[in-house]
Structure 1
């Protein structure tokens, strides 16, 4: 694994995170989003899968304070905690009867619930922006490390 490979995967994880947030926005804006399209668990989304596997290598970078990775993890947890509130509004409703399940009738979301989901989304977006800032800092730190130091980590 070389520096370019690590950078590529970091950027792909950041991109996956951005898409995850966009799907939450689509959901709130009334688009049809499948329940499993936006993982609730922070270890099941593509960003979380990267972070808890390959991303942990970045803890060993000499110019990357451990606080950076701790902050990224905390922001990521917070993001999923906020999304859980949105998920509960849209997906944790009692399902309709037999015919509504067969014919795909959607669960009705009340206006006040939509308003609450939008409030949650504003918070989610704020946390996401902070997470992206931290990932950008991490990327800059990685770019400053020599290829030789990267090879020693592997």
Structure 2
């Protein structure tokens, strides 16, 4: 059964079973490989994307359960410029291995959309489901705070 999805502002017709995880639709069918497979059970956050602005784990959302527009890491900035949050990630040299970073950034973008001036506790609470094996949590927090300040001013 064909399903039409809006991903990063573009319409995509997908002819796959409704129980296929959104993660595989994005990576294998659409070719957007910025969203990563981590654990497959929504415990690590590497596959975080937005559906209607809400951060979700794409490994656990079936194609048939997608309820709105999907935004991936590729759709966060523009083709010509990174988002303020992505720029802060670079400025604070957050990534080490980088594998989890697209999920981290997508979770942080959702946080800043809901709370434009988060405290350290707010950041820690919002980001706790996104794991970083390299332990860059202090740099993640600093980048989020920096992006929040830039977005505010």
| Larger radius of gyration between Structure 1 and Structure 2 | 1
> TM-score when scaled to structure 2?
0.26
Which structure has greater helix proportion? 1
> TM-score when scaled to structure 1?
0.25
Which structure has greater strand proportion? 2
* Structure with bigger RCO (C-alpha 8 Å, 6+ apart): 1
